[in-house]
Amino acid sequence: MRARIAVNGYGTIGKRVADAVARQPDLELVGVAKTRPSFEAQTAQARGIPIFVADGANVDPFRSAGIPVAGRTSDLLNAADLVVDCAPEKIGKENAVKYKEAGKPAIFQGGEKAEVAEVSFNALANFDAARGRQRVRVVSCNTTGLARAASVLRSAYGVEEWEATMVRRAGDPAETDRGPIDGILPTFPIPSHHGADVRSIFPDLTIATAAVVVPTTLMHVHVNRVRLARPPATVAEVLDRFRATPRFHIFRAWEHVDGTPQVMEYGRDRSPSGRPDVMENVLWEQGIRLEGRDLHFFQAIHQESIVVPENIDAIRAMLGLAPDAATSIARTDEALGIPRPAK
Amino acid sequence: MRARIAVNGYGTIGKRVADAVARQPDLELVGVAKTRPSFEAQTAQARGIPIFVADGANVDPFRSAGIPVAGRTSDLLNAADLVVDCAPEKIGKENAVKYKEAGKPAIFQGGEKAEVAEVSFNALANFDAARGRQRVRVVSCNTTGLARAASVLRSAYGVEEWEATMVRRAGDPAETDRGPIDGILPTFPIPSHHGADVRSIFPDLTIATAAVVVPTTLMHVHVNRVRLARPPATVAEVLDRFRATPRFHIFRAWEHVDGTPQVMEYGRDRSPSGRPDVMENVLWEQGIRLEGRDLHFFQAIHQESIVVPENIDAIRAMLGLAPDAATSIARTDEALGIPRPAK
Amino acid sequence: MRARIAVNGYGTIGKRVADAVARQPDLELVGVAKTRPSFEAQTAQARGIPIFVADGANVDPFRSAGIPVAGRTSDLLNAADLVVDCAPEKIGKENAVKYKEAGKPAIFQGGEKAEVAEVSFNALANFDAARGRQRVRVVSCNTTGLARAASVLRSAYGVEEWEATMVRRAGDPAETDRGPIDGILPTFPIPSHHGADVRSIFPDLTIATAAVVVPTTLMHVHVNRVRLARPPATVAEVLDRFRATPRFHIFRAWEHVDGTPQVMEYGRDRSPSGRPDVMENVLWEQGIRLEGRDLHFFQAIHQESIVVPENIDAIRAMLGLAPDAATSIARTDEALGIPRPAK
Amino acid sequence: MRARIAVNGYGTIGKRVADAVARQPDLELVGVAKTRPSFEAQTAQARGIPIFVADGANVDPFRSAGIPVAGRTSDLLNAADLVVDCAPEKIGKENAVKYKEAGKPAIFQGGEKAEVAEVSFNALANFDAARGRQRVRVVSCNTTGLARAASVLRSAYGVEEWEATMVRRAGDPAETDRGPIDGILPTFPIPSHHGADVRSIFPDLTIATAAVVVPTTLMHVHVNRVRLARPPATVAEVLDRFRATPRFHIFRAWEHVDGTPQVMEYGRDRSPSGRPDVMENVLWEQGIRLEGRDLHFFQAIHQESIVVPENIDAIRAMLGLAPDAATSIARTDEALGIPRPAK
C-alpha cells in the first residue's frame, strides 16, 4: 500500500512536489490545497488531481470557475499520512500548528526558519537524521545546492573554509511583479544569512556567503572558492567525483553552454519530469579550477525545482520507506527522469 | 507505410519539428542534420534520433564528442520522401538547389522570402494550395498568428482593414547574444514588412503592420484593430468562434493570467508535446472588445513553436496524406497534445 | 518680482519641476515638501533648496540625517503664490482640499483624474484655457506626447481617426521593485483609457489607444496610425512641420539612433537642463511614412521629463505671466536648454 | 600655457575624457577623432569640439551630414602634446605605432594588454610611476575599482589575500546589441583575468577574482572578502578611512539606496560633470562588515566613467603638470565636480 501524501499550497514548489509525488511507485497523491482558482487549478484538474480549498477561503470562486472541490484542507489532512507544506514563505509556521493538531507528520520548505522543524534536511548530507521525525524542513534552493556540493567535498577532501557569492535571480519566470528590470541589488547584510542556513546541515562548516540580486528569472549562480584540507592531484579527479554523485550535471566545453539560458534550454529539450526542470547542481568543466588548495567553481541552481527530489526523499526518510539515502535517491531520480550518475 | 521525413537544421524550429514528426502516426523521422556538436546533439542522441552531418562540415568534432554520425546531409536526403528545411534564415534559399537536385519535395520556413517556394502556407487558411507542391513555405510565427486570426474573422465577418502592432521578443530564451537589455527598438520602416507577408496568404487583405522590439525572450504580442464588414452583435460571439477553431486558446479573467510570463507558465505546467510550448494563438477574454465595427484584441504568439503544427500539416498536404485541412489539423493536434477546440 | 512657487512632492516629477522652476527668470522656488529623508533630500539640500516636511510626517528622521527642515507643508503653502502638486498618484485629490483651504492655485499631475481640476492642460494645445484658473491638471506623459502630435496634425491636415499603441516602460530607472523582468503584459481593457485622456484636451478627436507594458525603464514608444482629412503631398512636409514646432526632436537616419537606449544616450550627452532628460517628442525620419491618407509614425516619450516644461507653462498661464503660449514656451525652453525649433 | 590634448576615439570613454579634458584649467582639448558621423558627432559639434576624421575613413558622410571636419587623425596628432587613445578594445595596440611615429606620448585604456605601455596606472596607487613616461595604460574600470580599494586597505591594514566576485553589466546603456536579456553567464575560466590585471598595479597582491555577466547596463558590483594582516578594531574605522580618501562615496542606511539603479539616480540628480556619472567607488555602510580578520564589502563601479579622472591624472603625471598625486587628484576632482573627501 502506498503512503498517502497531501500537498498544502500549489505554487512554484507545490505543483512540482505534487507532480513528483504522483510519479513515485510507493507514494500516492491524496490532493492539493489552494486558496483561489487560477490557471494552475485548471491544469491540476485536467490532470485529475483532487483540489481542496483552504479552510478559511471562499469556495464560490472555484464553483463559478467550474473547478470541482474535493473538500477543505482539514479533510485533506485527515486523508493523508503526511503533509508537505508548500505555503508561501512564513505561512508554514502557522500551518505547523494545524498539522500537529491533526497528528500528521509534516515537511516544511526552506522559506521557513529552521526552528519550525526538528531537523533541516538534505538527502545527500543527512538523510538518516530525518528518520521517524514529525517535522522536517527541506532547506532552500541555494542551501540545497551548497549542501550537495559540501557533502561531496567534505567527505573526499575536507573543507577548511568556503566562500560563496550567490548571484540570485530576482523572481521566478511567472512572477511578473518582481524587479529590478535593469540593475544589481546587493543583499544586506554581508555576509548573508545563507551561510548560517548551510550550518543548519553542517554545523561545523566554516562558510561565508554574500548575495546580490540580478534581473533574471531562470537560475541562481554560485561562485565558490573552497579551501581543501587534502586537495586532490588534479581538478579532473574532482570532476569525476561530482559526476559519480547523484544530482550533479557537468557540462563539457564542446556542448557550448555559455550560461543559465542554455542550461534551461537543455532542461526544456530534456523535460525529465514532463517539466522543463533541471533538478541537478549544474557545473561546467571549464568553470572549475584548482589553484593550490583552493578549488574555484561555478554552479547554477534552478530555484524552482532543485528541492523537489529532496522533498520526496524526506518523505521516505520520515515514513521509513527506504533503507538508506542511496536507495531513496535512486528511486526518486528514476521516477523523475533525472539521469543516473556515471559509474 | 509511414512517410519518411528529414529535418535539415536542428535549432529552435528544427528540433521541435523533429519531435513533432516523431510523434505522428503516419510519419517517420529519418534523421536530422547538424553542422557541429552541441548539447542539442547530445539530447537528440539520447532520444535515438539519427544525426547526419552537413555536407561541408567537419565530422571530427562529433567523433571526439562521442556522438555517432549516421551519414551526411546528402545521405539523409536520399533516405527521405520529403525534407523540412530548418536552416538559419536565408540559408534555405541555397539549400533549395540541393533539394531540387535530389528530387525531394521541401518545406521552407518563414525566414526565407516567399519566392523560395511555389506557395506560402497556413493550415487554416490555405491547406489545399499546398497539395502536390514540390516547394512550400510555412510562413513566419507572426504571419502564422495573423493568418489564423484572419481566417476566422474574414470568413465570419469580412475584414475591411486591419491594423496590427507587433511587440516582438528580441531573441529566443537561449540566444544569449541578443539585446537590447533595457530599451525599445522601433523596426524601420513603418509600416513593416509583416503586412506584405500576410498578403502572401491573403492577397486581397488590407492590412498595415508596424513592429517594435522589446527586451523579452518569451513571446510576441500583437495589438490588433480590425474593421469588420459585418460585425456580430456581441464580442462574446467572436470569442465563441475563436474557441471553436483549432489552435486558439482563450484565457478567462478568473485565471489571472496577466501576460506572456504566465502564458508560458501555463505551457510549462501543461507541456503538451513534452515541451513547454504554446502552439496556439493566445487571447484573453478581457483583452478583446468590439467598438462599433472595430474589433480590438491582443494575441500572444509563442515564436518558438507556433509554426510547428503548420509544418506537419504542410507535409500532409504536399504528400497527400490527409483528405482535407480539418482531418490533418485534428491528427496533428492530437499527436502533439494541443487541446481540441470547444464544440 | 518673481512668482513664488512651491513643489509638494519630490519624486521623479517633483524634483524635475523644482529644478525647472529654479531655472526660470520669472519664477522663484520657495521650497519642496518631502515625507522622509533620502538621497534625493541630500541632493536637494546640497543645491540649497529649502526642504519642508509633510504635515503629518515625523521630523526626527530628517534631524538625525542632518537635513535642515525649513518648516511644514502648510508653511510652504503660505509662502507660495502657487503650488505644483507632485504627490504620488491619487494623493493629489486629497491635497486639493488643503490647497483650497490655503487659498492657493494649484497644478496637478496626470496621475490624477481629470475631475481634480477645472481644465486639463497641454501648452501647445490649449494654453489659453488655463488662464486665471485655480486648479489645472497637466496631462500624463503619454497624453502629453499624443496631445502635442495631435496639435500639429489637426491644425495642418485634419485628423479623421487616430490609432495608437503605447508600448510602455514598466517602471522608472530607480524603481527597483517594478517588473516584469522578462515578458509583455497587455493592459486591460482594450482600448485603453489613454484615448479618453487625450479627449480631455481634444474632446472631438476620434482616437483609439491600446497599451502593453514591457521590461524597460527608459522611455515609452507610441506606434501611431493617423488618417488625415487633407493629407500633404509628401511625408517630408510633415517632418518639416514637426521640426518647426517646439518640443519635437527628429533624428536623421545618419545619426544611427536605433531605439530608446540611444535616444537617452543623446540626452545624457546633451544634458539640456543639467539632467539627462529628453523633454521633446522624439521621432525618426525613417520611422514615419504616408500611405494614402494614413500617416504612420513612431514617437518615443521620456516618461520622467516630458511634462516638466508643460508644468512651467501652466504656471505662467494660471498666473498671467506670459501673453501667449508661444512666448511662454520659448521662455521655458530657453531656460531648460531645449533647442529652439527650426525656422 | 595649457597642454594640448588629443582624444582618439569618441565612444563611451572617449567622449567623457574629451569633456573632462575641456574642464581642466591646465589642459586644452585640441580635438577628437571619429570614423563616421553619428549623434555623438552632432553633440560634439554643438559643443564646439573640433572633429577630425580617422586617417583611412571616408570624409563624405561627415560632409553630407553637415559636420565640419577639422582634419585627419594625423593632423590631430601633430597639433597635440599628448594623445589619449580611446579606440575600441585591441585597436589601441595598432594605434601605438602611429603615436610613436608622430613622437607623441600616449595614454591607452584597460581594454589593451599591459604590454602596450611602459606602466599600468591608477592615480591613488602609483601616480609617480607614470612620470615622464611615453606610454601609460589606465587600467580597466573593474581593475581601477579594485586598485583604489586595495590602495586604502594595503597601506592601512595590510592585505593577506583578497577574493573578489565581479558581477558585471552585460553592456553599456546604448549598446543595444548586447545580451543576455534573461540569464547569467559565468565568465570562463575561473579564476578570471582580473586578478592578474590588478597585479599589473600591485605585483605582490594575493588576489583571486571570478566574474559573471548579468542583464544590466548600469554598473558592475564587486563582492569582496579581504583578509587583513592588521585588522582595525571596528568597521567604522574602515569606513572613515574610505570617506577620507578621494573618489569613494559611501551611502548611509537612511538614504535608502538599495542598488545600482538608485546609485545612478543619485548620479543623475547630481550630474557632477554635466553628465549623470558616478566616478567614485560606491560603498554602503550596511554593506561592509568585519568578521575576525576578514573584511567583507560590496562596491559598485560605474563602468562608463570611473576611469575618466584617472586619465586626467595620467596626463599630468606624464607631462609633469602636478607635483604629486594628491595635488593632481584634487585639481581633477574639483574640475569634474567630484565631492572632496571628508576631513
Q: Do A284 and D188 touch (CB under 8 A)?
A: yes
Q: Which of A180, A191, A287 sits opposite D289 (nearest CB)?
A: A191
Cα distances (angstroms) measured from residue B163 to each of B249, B293, C235, C300: 22, 13, 20, 20
8 Å CB contact between B110 and B93: no
pLDDT, mean over chain C? 96
- Residue ranges with strand state E in B10-152: 27-34, 51-53, 71-72, 82-85, 106-108, 119-121, 135-138
C-alpha cell at D179: 545580451
8 Å CB contact between C56 and C81: no
C-alpha cell at C126: 490649449
Searching chain D, which residue's CA lies closest to the CA of residue A186?
Answer: D259
Q: For chain D, which domains are there?
A: 3-139+307-336 (3.40.50.720), 141-301 (3.30.360.10)
| B62-66, B228-232, D174-178: range with lowest mean pLDDT | B62-66
> Pick the catalytic residue: A17, A21, A116, A141?
A141
Nearest to C283 by CA among C229, C232, C340, C240: C240
Residue D58 has pLDDT above 80, yes or no: yes
C-alpha cell at B153: 474573422
Contacts with D169 from chain A: Cβ below 8 Å: 184
Q: How many CB atoms sit inside 10 A of residue B47's CB? A: 15
8 Å CB contact between A322 and A316: yes
Taking residues B277-286, report their average pLDDT: 97
Chains in touch with C (≥3 Cβ pairs < 8 A)? A, B, D
Contacts with B37 from chain A: Cβ below 8 Å: 254-255
Q: How confident is the model at residue D6 (pLDDT cuts 50, 70, 90)?
A: very high
Opening angle at CA C70, ends C67 and C73, nearest 5: 115
3-state secondary structure of A201: coil
- According to the model, what pLDDT value does residue D19 have? 95
- According to the model, what pLDDT value does residue C63 have? 92
> Pick the catalytic residue: D6, D119, D123, D141?
D141
Opening angle at CA A314, ends A310 and A320, nearest 5: 145
Nearest-Cα distance to chain B for C292, in Å, is 12
Distance (Å, whole) CA B254 – CA A116: 34
pLDDT tens digits in sequence order for chain A, 343 residues long: 899 999 999 999 999 999 999 999 999 999 999 999 999 988 899 889 999 998 888 999 999 999 999 999 999 999 999 999 999 988 999 999 999 999 999 999 999 999 999 999 999 999 999 999 999 999 999 999 999 999 999 999 999 999 999 999 999 999 999 999 999 999 999 999 999 999 999 999 999 999 999 999 999 999 999 999 999 999 999 999 999 999 999 999 999 999 999 999 999 998 766 789 999 999 999 999 999 999 999 999 999 999 999 999 999 999 999 999 999 999 999 999 999 998 7
Residue C148 has pLDDT above 70, yes or no: yes
- According to the model, what pLDDT value does residue B272 have? 64
C-alpha cell at C111: 496621475
Residue given cell 519664477 in the structure block: C27
Cα distances (angstroms) measured from residue D37 to each of C56, C297, D59, D88, D244: 55, 25, 9, 16, 43
Chains in touch with A (≥3 Cβ pairs < 8 A)? B, C, D
Distance (Å, whole) CA A90 – CA D203: 50
Task: Look up the ipTM and state it.
Answer: 0.97
3-state secondary structure of D2: coil
Taking residues B261-279, report their average pLDDT: 89
Nearest to A160 by CA among A199, A204, A193, A209: A204
Distance (Å, whole) CA B210 – CA B192: 5
Residue D274 has pLDDT above 80, yes or no: no
Q: Phi, psi at residue A309, to the nearest 5°?
A: -65, -30
- According to the model, what pLDDT value does residue B273 have? 66
Residue D129 has pLDDT above 90, yes or no: yes
Taking residues C16-30, report their average pLDDT: 97
Residue B14 has pLDDT above 70, yes or no: yes
Q: Do B185 and D177 touch (CB under 8 A)?
A: no
Q: Do D177 and B181 touch (CB under 8 A)?
A: no
Interface mutation vs chain B, best among A10, A49, A254, A257, most B CBs within 10 Å: A254
Contacts with C217 from chain B: Cβ below 8 Å: 182
Q: How confident is the model at residue D275 (pLDDT cuts 50, 70, 90)?
A: confident
- According to the model, what pLDDT value does residue B246 have? 98
Q: Do D262 and C181 touch (CB under 8 A)?
A: no
- According to the model, what pLDDT value does residue A186 have? 98
Q: Do C210 and B298 touch (CB under 8 A)?
A: yes
- According to the model, what pLDDT value does residue A273 have? 66
Q: Which of B182, B185, B217 sits opposite D217 (nearest CB)?
A: B182
Alpha-carbon dihedral sign for residues D254, D257, D262, D264 = positive
The H-or-E segment that residue D30 falls in is strand D27-34
Q: How many CB atoms sit inside 10 A of residue A115's CB? A: 11
Q: Which residues pair with A185 in a beta bridge?
A: A213
- According to the model, what pLDDT value does residue A47 have? 87
Contacts with A300 from chain D: Cβ below 8 Å: 184, 186
Nearest to C138 by CA among C319, C13, C299, C6: C13
- According to the model, what pLDDT value does residue B90 have? 85
R_g of chain A, CA atoms, integer Å: 20
Residue D272 has pLDDT above 70, yes or no: no
List residues of D whose CB lies inside 8 A of any A CB: 163, 165, 167, 169, 180, 182-186, 188-191, 208, 210, 212-221, 223, 225, 258-261, 264, 284, 286-289, 291, 294, 296-298, 300
Opening angle at CA A121, ends A118 and A122, nearest 5: 170
C-alpha cell at A284: 561546467
pLDDT in tens, B144-160: 999 999 999 999 999 99
- According to the model, what pLDDT value does residue D32 have? 97
pLDDT in tens, D96-128: 999 999 999 999 999 999 999 999 999 999 999
Residue C55 has pLDDT above 90, yes or no: no
Q: Do A180 and C177 touch (CB under 8 A)?
A: yes
Residue C265 has pLDDT above 80, yes or no: yes
Q: Do B258 and C284 touch (CB under 8 A)?
A: no
Contacts with C215 from chain B: Cβ below 8 Å: 182, 214-216
Q: Which of A173, A177, A183 sits opposite C182 (nearest CB)?
A: A173
Q: Do D179 and B175 touch (CB under 8 A)?
A: yes
8 Å CB contact between A221 and A255: no
Q: Phi, psi at residue C3, to the nearest 5°?
A: -75, 135
- Compute the residue count for chain D: 343
- According to the model, what pLDDT value does residue A275 have? 87
Residue C46 has pLDDT above 90, yes or no: no
Nearest-Cα distance to chain A for D154, in Å, is 21
C158: left (phi over 0), alpha (psi -120 to 50) or beta: left
Q: Do B256 and A176 touch (CB under 8 A)?
A: no
Q: Do C262 and D217 touch (CB under 8 A)?
A: no
Taking residues D124-136, report their average pLDDT: 97
Concatenating the DSSP letter of every residue in B245-280 gives: STTEEEE-GGG---SHHHHHHHHHHH-TTSS----S
List residues of C whose CB lies inside 8 A of any B CB: 163, 165, 167, 169, 180, 182-186, 188-191, 208, 210, 212-221, 223, 225, 258-261, 264, 284, 286-289, 291, 294, 296-298, 300
